[in-house]
């Protein structure tokens, strides 16, 4: 998306302190808020429901749900503060529990296929889409 430099920020998304530090770093590195944010932090800890302890449940929900909330909220605030036009926030999840199943296409997905969907969602071509769930599953 243009010629701007892109950066990766290692962040404990379950911690508002860590997310705020990321925002401070982002502010120091760039003159304005990002126009595109993609979040894809997540963890899967194999466990049967009846066997999962509270600490494991807390870890999964703190990263997968709270983490997404904290990052999206922080980035949305920046976008609003800087009056970003046509901004996009893409949140990603995983269906890792179904990874071993065969797909209709009989092949594994490629990272570029996920990246291309994110690119589409960040462009004007998808500007009328909001709040949609789009699966890239190979027809599972």
Q: Whole-model pTM? A: 0.82
Round to whole Å and give the CA distance between 140 and 123: 27
Across 77-89, average pLDDT: 94
The pLDDT score that the predictor gives to residue 100 is 52
Q: What are the tens digits of pLDDT across the range 98-132?
A: 555 667 888 888 889 989 999 999 999 998 998 88
What DSSP state is assigned to residue 8? -
Across 7-36, average pLDDT: 93
The pLDDT score that the predictor gives to residue 53 is 94
Round to whole Å and give the CA distance between 60 and 47: 11
The pLDDT score that the predictor gives to residue 1 is 47
All domains in the chain, ordered by first residue? 16-126 (3.40.50.720)
Across 58-64, average pLDDT: 93
Q: Where are the alpha helices (DSSP H) in 1-140?
A: 16-29, 54-61, 67-81, 111-121
The pLDDT score that the predictor gives to residue 81 is 95
């Amino acid at each position: 998306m243009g010629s701007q430099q892109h950066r990766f920020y290692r962040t404990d998304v379950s911690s508002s302190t860590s997310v705020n530090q990321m925002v401070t770093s982002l502010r120091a590195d760039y003159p304005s808020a990002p126009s595109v944010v993609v979040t894809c932090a997540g963890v899967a800890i194999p466990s049967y429901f009846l066997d999962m302890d509270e600490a494991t449940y807390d870890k999964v929900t703190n990263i997968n749900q709270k983490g997404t909330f904290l990052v999206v909220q922080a980035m949305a605030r920046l976008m609003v503060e800087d009056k970003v036009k046509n901004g996009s926030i893409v949140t990603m999840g995983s269906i890792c529990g179904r990874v071993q199943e065969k797909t209709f296409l009989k092949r594994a997905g490629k990272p570029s296929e996920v990246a291309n969907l994110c690119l589409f969602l960040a462009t004007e071509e998808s500007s009328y889409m909001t709040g949609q769930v789009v699966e890239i599953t190979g027809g599972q």
